[in-house]
A and B are shown apart, each in its own frame.
Chain A
Amino acid sequence: MTPKALAKLPLFLDGAMGTQLQAKGLQPGETPELWNLTRPADVRNVHKAYFVAGADAVYTNTFGANSAKYHGDAPLADVIAAGVALAKEAAGGGLVALDVGPTGRLLKPSGDFEFDAAYDAFAEQIAIGAKAGADFVAVETMSDAYELKAAVLAAKENCDLPVLATVALGNDGKLLTGADVDCVAAILEGLHADAIGLNCGFGPDRMLPFVERLATATSLPIAVKPNAGLPTVVDGRTVFTVGPDDFSRDVAALVDAGASIVGGCCGTTPAHIAALRSAIKGRSDNAARHACRRTVVTSGSRAVEIPLDDSIIIGERINPTGKKRLKAALSEGDTAYILREAVSQAESGAHVLDVNVGVPGLDEPAVLEATVQAVQSVTDLPLQLDTSDPAALERAMRRYNGKPLVNSVNGKEESLSAVLPLVAKYGGVVVALTLDESGIPPTAEGRLAIARKILERGSEYGLKPEDFLVDVLCLAVSAEAQSGNVILESLRRVRAELGCRTCLGVSNISFGLPARPLLNAAFYTMALEAGLSAGIVNPLSAEMMSAYHAFRALTARDAQCSGWTSFAPSVAQQSVVSSTPAARSAKGAAPGGDAKPGTHLFEAIRRGLKADAATEAKAMVAGGTDALDIINGSIVPALEVVGKGFEGGTVFLPQLLMAADAAGAAFEVVKAAFPAQQGAAKGPIVMATVKGDIHDIGKNICRALLENYGFRVIDLGRDVPPEKILEAARREKAKMVGLSALMTTTVGAMAETIELFHKELPSCKVAVGGAVLTADFATKISADFYTKDAMELVRLAEREFR
């Protein structure tokens, strides 16, 4: 073992293996790794040629040697072991890197491959390769941050070799799943990769801006392995055209920009490496690697920096404390509600979303993991994993896609020893609550002392001040008159004395007092002025968002006041709402101004005008119309007209759904205005797209329509195993489940689910639908009902739940 395999810089890597083997006769579709057993001399000769050309290290011929991708005849372990052995035979005193490429599968949610399955495949490959004597692990050509995390984590947990991790960027500087250089760097630093960089994708000239960017985002050694230019097709064959001289000149520029580990990818040859060696020979590791003091959290596709001199918004709404509707949604597994909360906060301008699922009686580790994965499927914002249960935290951190914000650690020994090691292992920025065994100190001095202690303990785990957000804790002024002053002093001093960023759950300040939103907004402004780096607030609150955008515009943090300018119309719109009826009659927009109440709402829904429907409903509420009158007088009749039109062939699916959206918007207004008057919803109906199927548009359309017809739908999502659907139907005592499948290959899973229901829960009826289904086929697989479209399903539900 050579723990310092990556210590001698600059380090010269090899060039391409794949294109070299193709030159020796490897055919398209053939498994290159099998050559380790069938044509070992050819593989060994490629390695030898690179060492002769001046490489310090070569990559083994094991790029696709993981169980997810490899389908050769010979045992995988033999292929990997032989791959390492061949490289070692050629090495002399040189180094051998175990090449770990992607699985060739797309992970959930865009694909169907589980994170754990990817991890297992990498773990197996790495354990075998390390045992065979590799000197370091080279994770390469990754194009998905989530799969990259699985590979690096597998390397860290299954061997003690250094890990070099490189990704393949597209022309836009992003991975296929969207992460840019900053995002990749934050994730890899968090996971303690030993060197990071870029390979494949394009030639060295195009790599330059991204290497420059990477140099500002990491303090780790930077590796580059570009292609010999872009692939071009000549006579139907793919060739790379950049020769050794041009290649080495452009790679030298990458070295000037900060790279210190260099080699080549597709199309490069021993001649390229020899030229590279002579072009860069004699240079020391001249990249001035500065300590990167940035605080960055990420999702799988977006990095969010928490600056020392500006502030970001953490959306607080996915936290059941004091929220009945969310509590119910969590207990019922009603993901759709939670996802709507996520999307609306993102649309309102949140930068990070808090996710807390602490409801008594729930299996918190399981629910937190599932909720985090579901929320990550509909937003690219980084998440704040908010739990006091270390088991739940570890499970969520492990499978989180990106580098999370963690809420929280505090000054209690129990918390320090449980949470800090997790942050050190998986990477993350952690909220440090300034409380300990003796509670919350009443003074700023006391809170700073605890913050200092947490930072010191963090340093024992290798964590730096920029890995923390200090939460100085917000107590209500109704209980502690000095609370506001203490918080503001603490915010200033944490920043000045500890050089550390801060966060705060702002709205606690007004607990127990009337007109809370106004107090909250005023205090938020004060906290921002005192240097608050991250406010945990409600992004749907116009008052809070006004405070945030106004502060930034008024303190030169908002260039050209563009943030304020794009935010302002949304507030203006809200204040217009109350005056809508007047505004409308003034414009004379209502044909027949004396129309009976509700006509405008009816028309807005019929025509599918969502914003108008919400506005009209608000006007009716403001005008004193009762909830039931709005629903039964306008919403339901409008939906009826549209539904009948759809059945009669005069209204089409897009219009039906637009009307349903408009009705939904009106419903929301009524629900918000009359929370107590919500009539009991009909149902519930459990809906799912069956196992193996990741296309869920049909199911989503059915759900939307059912909900707008007043049914409660428990939406289990897509690719749902039969047992999970059964479990939900049992728990909810559902009389009906709706299953959808799009492809012939997944109809089998539908039949399996129906069989399970008929055996285990015969009282529950199964309705099926989907592109490939017919009434005949539905009968054949013993479904209770087949509906050809969403409207038919609504009609069926109306009959069944009459």
Chain B
Amino acid sequence: MTIALELPDIMPYLRMGGRTPDDALAARIGELREKALAEVRPARTWRRMAIPQAWLDESKALSIRLEGCREAYLACGTLGAAFDAYHRRISVRSGADALIVQAIGAAAIEKVMDGIEDAIRAELAPGESLVARYSPGYADFPLAEQRTLLGLIDAPRRVGVTLTDSLLMAPSKSVSAVIGVRKENQA
């Protein structure tokens, strides 16, 4: 799986309020994009299952998001540990490069997650559709459920995504998600 990123994909993560980059910045982004993407080893996994009742009991926000869904895909994507290593290396020499590579990573993992959603959509039965993805740590869906989610899809083994003691995902450019499946004839 290769990831293609254009300047407009990256710019939102540099938080320049919609402005276009000057030539020097655009050139730097261009140079770093190639090098950074060469360090990306995307991995992804997902599993369809009944939504754990405990999550719905715990989180009102999740219940609302998954209203009308009986099943959901639990998914996880990552850029891999090599990207983190590259980011550490680049950060030693330049604050600007660190910021730009971080933005490239943020844009790239979004592409990975979009790719997961596309692949899942292809698995759906006729009449089924996906609701927008949701993750532990949003609103009242406890971050601690990250551990349950990653366990249910065997993420450490399948894609190498682990949790730290403080519940951060490592590698750092990783995203987990609950994606509800809605059926046309469901309420």
| Cα distance, A610 to B96, chains bound together (Å) | 11
* In the complex, chain A residues 595-614 whose Cβ is within 8 Å of any chain B Cβ: 607-610
> Does A419 lie at the interface of the complex (its beta carbon under 8 Å from any beta carbon of B)?
no
* In the complex, chain A residues 553-605 whose Cβ is within 8 Å of any chain B Cβ: none
Contact of B166 among A112, A340, A654 (CB under 8 A): A112
Chain A proximity mask over B20-55: 1 for CB below 8 Å, otherwise 0:
011011001000000000000101000111000000
- The residue on A at minimum CB distance from B11 is A654
Q: How far is the CB of B109 from chain A (nearest CB, A)?
A: 14
> Does B123 lie at the interface of the complex (its beta carbon under 8 Å from any beta carbon of A)?
yes
Chain B proximity mask over A222-250: 1 for CB below 8 Å, otherwise 0:
00000000000100101000000000000
Q: How far is the CB of A84 from chain B (nearest CB, A)?
A: 22
| Cα distance, A740 to B81, chains bound together (Å) | 23
| Cα distance, A80 to B104, chains bound together (Å) | 45
| Cα distance, A608 to B29, chains bound together (Å) | 13
B96 touches A104 (CB 8 A): no
Binds A, one of B61-69, B110-118, B157-165: B157-165
> Does B171 lie at the interface of the complex (its beta carbon under 8 Å from any beta carbon of A)?
yes
Contact of A658 among B24, B41, B91, B170 (CB under 8 A): B24
Contact of B156 among A104, A174, A609 (CB under 8 A): A104
B98 touches A697 (CB 8 A): yes
Known: A653-B99, A660-B96, A700-B91. A694 touches B16 (CB 8 A): no
Binds B, one of A377-385, A403-411, A760-768: A377-385
- The residue on A at minimum CB distance from B148 is A29
* Cβ–Cβ < 8 Å partners of B84 in chain A: 110
* Cβ–Cβ < 8 Å partners of A652 in chain B: 14-17, 19
B88 touches A661 (CB 8 A): no
| Cα distance, A104 to B154, chains bound together (Å) | 9
* In the complex, chain B residues 85-128 whose Cβ is within 8 Å of any chain A Cβ: 85, 87-89, 91-100, 102, 123
| Cα distance, A107 to B153, chains bound together (Å) | 21
* Cβ–Cβ < 8 Å partners of A141 in chain B: 157
* Cβ–Cβ < 8 Å partners of B154 in chain A: 28
* Cβ–Cβ < 8 Å partners of A692 in chain B: 164-166
| Cα distance, A584 to B61, chains bound together (Å) | 62
Q: How far is the CB of A563 from chain B (nearest CB, A)?
A: 20
* Cβ–Cβ < 8 Å partners of B171 in chain A: 106, 110
B156 touches A102 (CB 8 A): yes
Contact of A111 among B47, B87, B152, B170 (CB under 8 A): B170
Contact of A380 among B47, B85, B93, B151 (CB under 8 A): B85
* Cβ–Cβ < 8 Å partners of B48 in chain A: 236
B85 touches A29 (CB 8 A): no
| Cα distance, A704 to B95, chains bound together (Å) | 6
Q: How far is the CB of A630 from chain B (nearest CB, A)?
A: 21
| Cα distance, A610 to B166, chains bound together (Å) | 38
Known: A110-B81, A172-B41, A177-B82. A654 touches B100 (CB 8 A): yes
* Cβ–Cβ < 8 Å partners of B16 in chain A: 652-654
> Does A176 lie at the interface of the complex (its beta carbon under 8 Å from any beta carbon of B)?
yes
* Cβ–Cβ < 8 Å partners of B43 in chain A: 170, 176
- The residue on A at minimum CB distance from B93 is A343
> Does B129 lie at the interface of the complex (its beta carbon under 8 Å from any beta carbon of A)?
no
B95 touches A607 (CB 8 A): no
Known: A141-B157, A233-B123, A705-B95. A112 touches B165 (CB 8 A): yes
Q: How far is the CB of B115 from chain A (nearest CB, A)?
A: 15
B82 touches A112 (CB 8 A): no
| Cα distance, A336 to B93, chains bound together (Å) | 9
Q: How far is the CB of A124 from chain B (nearest CB, A)?
A: 19
* In the complex, chain A residues 21-47 whose Cβ is within 8 Å of any chain B Cβ: 28-29
> Does B5 lie at the interface of the complex (its beta carbon under 8 Å from any beta carbon of A)?
no
* Cβ–Cβ < 8 Å partners of B153 in chain A: 28
> Does A453 lie at the interface of the complex (its beta carbon under 8 Å from any beta carbon of B)?
no
A28 touches B47 (CB 8 A): yes
Known: A339-B92, A607-B22, A700-B91. A176 touches B160 (CB 8 A): yes
Known: A106-B160, A658-B25, A694-B164. A340 touches B95 (CB 8 A): no
Known: A112-B164, A701-B95, A745-B143. A343 touches B25 (CB 8 A): no
| Cα distance, A768 to B49, chains bound together (Å) | 43
B47 touches A695 (CB 8 A): no
Q: How far is the CB of A540 from chain B (nearest CB, A)?
A: 14
> Does A475 lie at the interface of the complex (its beta carbon under 8 Å from any beta carbon of B)?
no
- The residue on B at minimum CB distance from A377 is B88
Q: List B residues at the A interface (Cβ < 8 Å).
A: 14-17, 19, 21-22, 24-25, 28, 41, 43, 47-49, 80-82, 84-85, 87-89, 91-100, 102, 123, 143, 148, 151-154, 156-157, 160, 162-168, 170-172
Given A110-B172, A654-B99, A701-B95, 16 additional A-B pairs, CB 8 A? A28-B49, A28-B152, A29-B152, A105-B163, A110-B85, A176-B43, A236-B47, A340-B92, A654-B21, A657-B94, A693-B166, A694-B170, A697-B102, A704-B98, A743-B168, A790-B95
Q: List A residues at the B interface (Cβ < 8 Å).
A: 28-29, 102, 104-106, 109-113, 141, 143-144, 170, 172, 174, 176-178, 233, 236, 238, 301, 336, 339-340, 342-344, 346, 377-380, 607-610, 652-655, 657-658, 660-661, 692-697, 700-701, 703-705, 743-746, 790
A sample of 17 cross-chain residue pairs with beta-carbon separation below 8 angstroms, ordered by A number, consists of A29-B148, A104-B162, A105-B156, A109-B85, A233-B123, A378-B88, A608-B96, A654-B21, A655-B24, A658-B25, A661-B96, A661-B97, A693-B166, A694-B172, A700-B91, A703-B95, A704-B95
Which 10 A-B pairs rank lowest in CB-CB distance, beginning with the nearest? A704-B95, A657-B96, A236-B48, A111-B170, A692-B166, A176-B160, A112-B164, A104-B156, A106-B170, A657-B95
